[in-house]
Amino acid sequence: MRGRGTCAGGAPGRRPALWLFLAVLLTLVSAAVAPAGEPEGAVAEKVAGEVTVTETGPESPAGAGTPASPSAPKAARAAEGPRWDLSGTLKGWFGDWVVYEVAGAAVWQFVVAFLFILAGLAARKIIDFVMAEKVVPLFRRTPFQFDHLIAEAASKPLACLGLVGGLAGAVCVLRLPVEPDVRGVVYGALKVLVAADVLWFLFRMVDVLVLYLARMAARTQSKLDDHLVPLLRKALKVTLAVIVAVWVVQLLGYSVGSLLAGLGIGGLAVALALQDTLANFFGSVFIFLDRPFSVGDMVKIGDTEGVVEQIGFRSTRIRTWPATLVAIPNKQVAESKIDNWSKMPKRRVNQTVGVTYETTADQMEQAVAAIREILERDEGVDPEFIVVRFEDFGSSSLDIRVIYFTKPIAYADHLAVRERVNLAVMRALERLGLAIAFPTRTVYFEGDVARSVASRLASRPGGEGGKPG
């Protein structure tokens, strides 16, 4: 098996090249920032103990010897952003070809900018590797449950920040035009990228916090905290997004005070325009504080019946019995009558059993006693409240009122108990020789009408008093 090439100390053979690359990059950076007391954007050339400052702005070619005023305003130079010039140093190292200009920039600028981009990509890979292979496994061995999640949340944004740093170094080296202000636009874009990376990191930290709170909420018996955790996640992310947006505006050089003042004035108009939305929001607050129902409850809100699936800032979603999803605005929920069936300790059954008029009084007493015994013996029926009475003489039946409560409140289990009781009642009535009545009507005729109908029936073929046809 072929072994891997190693250097002194057992390091892999590719590491010396990486260290050499980083050493060259650090040398270039140190040459760019020294001497520290000279103006930005200028090259200091020491000749016989004297310092001659050479301008390298876009109006003078590289290497021109135009003296620069040491009292130039720093604000004017700072407006262009930081800029590094290695023309003199690299020209002495490699020759005149490094200062040749291509598309408005010297050759050395393209080379060093490319090196910075490579350094940013390398930094991203190194940070990903170190966080995934070293830091996160180390934190997993600690007694804490969430420190490795924090490390995982920080790994990706930190790696992207290294890449953004490489891009920033490349932009500092390149001589971007000031008129039009391409340089300012690029620096503004870099600031926005840094702010977006910070916001991404904060969002991932919020997810870790919400996971921690969700596990804590799962240990409690109350369902209120289970509903508040998703709302807290949304509220934190919106708040952080607004703060970072204001920070970006300030980074871009705009007045934050005037922006906030404008938002205060415009906020009143927005509040008037979004009064229904605000009413729905406060309706959701009412639901969470008053807790008339929770997710998973069977409710009836107005004319809508079903199971609550989600309680949001704007609306409450209910899965109806036909399996449709209905979204009711929280303002309407707060103003409606809410019937929560899941809060019932037991479920009532109120029905009428009708038997035919051929039933005698003794048979009626036996039927009432049999039905009461069935309810008392059934394990799904609450024995504390059972009503079985001969109630009324109906239009086509003798009515027995049956009222009881089932112990199961789930609809399917409730129907199972009702079915078992109804089948037992039918068998009991059958044993007593009774029949369940259905709507019938008997018509009696008297006098001439009765005699006329009887004569017609008798004159029919095969009828009473007639001859068979």
- Alpha helices, DSSP H, located in 134-181: 136-140, 147-173
Same domain, residue pair 266 and 285: no
On whether residue 388 sits in a domain, the answer given is yes
On whether residue 112 sits in a domain, the answer given is no
Q: Is the pTM of this model over 0.85?
A: no
- Fill in the amino acid letter for 206: V
- Under 8 Å between Cβ of 435 and 357: no
Angle CA(248)–CA(254)–CA(255) in degrees, nearest 5? 110
- Total domains in the chain come to 4
CATH number where 320 lies = 2.30.30.60
On whether residue 68 sits in a domain, the answer given is no
Same domain, residue pair 360 and 416: yes
Least Cα distance to 99 among 68, 65, 61, 51 occurs for 61
Angle CA(405)–CA(406)–CA(409) in degrees, nearest 5? 115
Same domain, residue pair 235 and 268: yes
Same domain, residue pair 262 and 292: no
pLDDT for the residue 452: 81
On whether residue 230 sits in a domain, the answer given is yes
Beta carbons within 10 angstroms of residue 341's beta carbon: 17
Same domain, residue pair 183 and 268: yes
Full domain range(s) for residue 288: 276-343
Q: Of 343, 361, 385, which marks where a domain is finished? A: 343
Q: Cα–Cα distances in Å, from 465 out to 98, 303, 453, 455, 458? A: 135, 63, 13, 9, 5
On whether residue 115 sits in a domain, the answer given is no
Mean pLDDT of the residues in the chain = 74
Same domain, residue pair 262 and 291: no
Same domain, residue pair 237 and 316: no
On whether residue 61 sits in a domain, the answer given is no
Measure CA 121 to chain center.
32
Same domain, residue pair 427 and 467: no
Q: Of 317, 343, 369, which marks where a domain is finished? A: 343
Same domain, residue pair 399 and 456: no
Same domain, residue pair 339 and 357: no
On whether residue 264 sits in a domain, the answer given is yes
On whether residue 53 sits in a domain, the answer given is no
Same domain, residue pair 355 and 384: yes
Same domain, residue pair 356 and 420: yes
d(CA 387, CA 380): 16
Kind plus residue range of the DSSP H or E element containing 50: strand 50-55
- How confident is the prediction along the chain (469 residues), in pLDDT tens digits per residue? 444 443 433 444 444 444 444 544 554 444 444 443 344 343 334 333 333 333 444 443 434 344 444 444 444 444 444 555 555 556 556 556 656 565 556 666 677 778 888 888 888 888 888 888 888 888 888 777 777 788 888 888 888 888 888 888 777 777 666 677 677 787 788 888 888 888 888 888 888 888 888 887 777 655 656 667 777 788 888 888 888 888 888 777 777 776 666 666 666 666 666 677 777 777 877 787 778 888 888 899 988 999 998 887 788 899 998 889 999 998 888 888 899 988 888 999 999 999 999 999 999 999 999 999 999 999 999 999 999 999 999 888 999 999 999 999 888 899 999 999 999 999 999 999 999 888 877 777 777 777 787 788 777 765 554 444 4
433's CB contacts (< 8 A; 6+ apart) are 363
